[in-house]
Amino acid sequence: MTSHPGAVETQRLFFALWPEEALQSQIARMTTALLPNHLGRRVSEANLHCTLVFLGTVRPDQRLCVEAAADTVRVEPFTLTLDRFGYFRRPQVAWLGCQQTPPSLRSLVSQLGQGCAVCGFPPEHRDYAVHLTVARRIARDPGQLLVMPIDWPITRFALVASVHEDGGLRYHPQRFWELT
């Protein structure tokens, strides 16, 4: 949280799919197998996640608002198959994603995005590109790397805070919502 005298306490927040620890380890191992060691900087295992809706700076009243919006989301549990390696040239990040975005994931992102718009967060107009960033500062496209597919059962989503800690960024889930 920010804490300037007289300032409103804000947080940097986003909604995400948050893997169980065992899956975070599996993804970290897969990244090590895929990317040569000298390429880029790995996202630390405990930070691995897939963003659904990025909010940025959030006031306490807005946090209550987005939490209420999340309460209204109706999506049944589904499976997300991570079966694709990708690279975004501009932010220079490598990621895992999926060949086919499940309709349930689109619905989840869309419901959350619409709810957050009501709380003052402009909706994202770009098509949702599911990606779980595994490494940053990769200057050159590593090309198409073959991924051993991982089936990730999605039973919940999280509101996550991004916090500066020990000279780096650490992501902390604040609250989970179960899909039913």
Residues 6+ apart with CB under 8 A from 48: 19, 24, 27, 28, 132, 134
Cα separation, 5 vs 64, whole angstroms: 22
Other CB atoms within 10 A of residue 40 CB: 20
**Nearer CB in complex with ligand 2AM: 2/76:** 2
The answer to whether residue 15 forms part of the interface with ligand 2AM (CB under 6 A) is no
Q: Which of 11, 13, 14, 116 binds ligand 2AM (CB under 6 A)?
A: 14
Size of the site for ligand 2AM (CB under 6 A): 6
Helix (H) or strand (E) holding 114: helix 103-118
- Please name every residue paired with 157 in a beta bridge, in sequence order, or none if there are none: 177
CB 56 → ligand 2AM: shortest distance, Å? Answer: 7
Strand order, beta sheet including 11-17: 50-58, 11-17, 156-165, 168-178
Q: Which of 26, 51, 62, 111 binds ligand 2AM (CB under 6 A)?
A: 51
58 near 66, Cβ under 8 Å?
yes
Phi, psi of 64 (to 5 degrees): -60, -40
Cα separation, 28 vs 42, whole angstroms: 8
CB 47 → ligand 2AM: shortest distance, Å? Answer: 9
CB 5 → ligand 2AM: shortest distance, Å? Answer: 27
* Stretch 56-95 residues interacting with ligand 2AM (CB under 6 A): 93
The answer to whether residue 154 forms part of the interface with ligand 2AM (CB under 6 A) is no
The answer to whether residue 162 forms part of the interface with ligand 2AM (CB under 6 A) is yes
Per-residue contact string for residues 129-148; x = within reach of ligand 2AM by CB under 6 A: ----x---------------
CB 54 → ligand 2AM: shortest distance, Å? Answer: 3
**Nearer CB in complex with ligand 2AM: 74/164:** 164
Judged by the rule CB under 6 A, the positions of this chain that interact with ligand 2AM are 14, 51, 54, 93, 133, 162
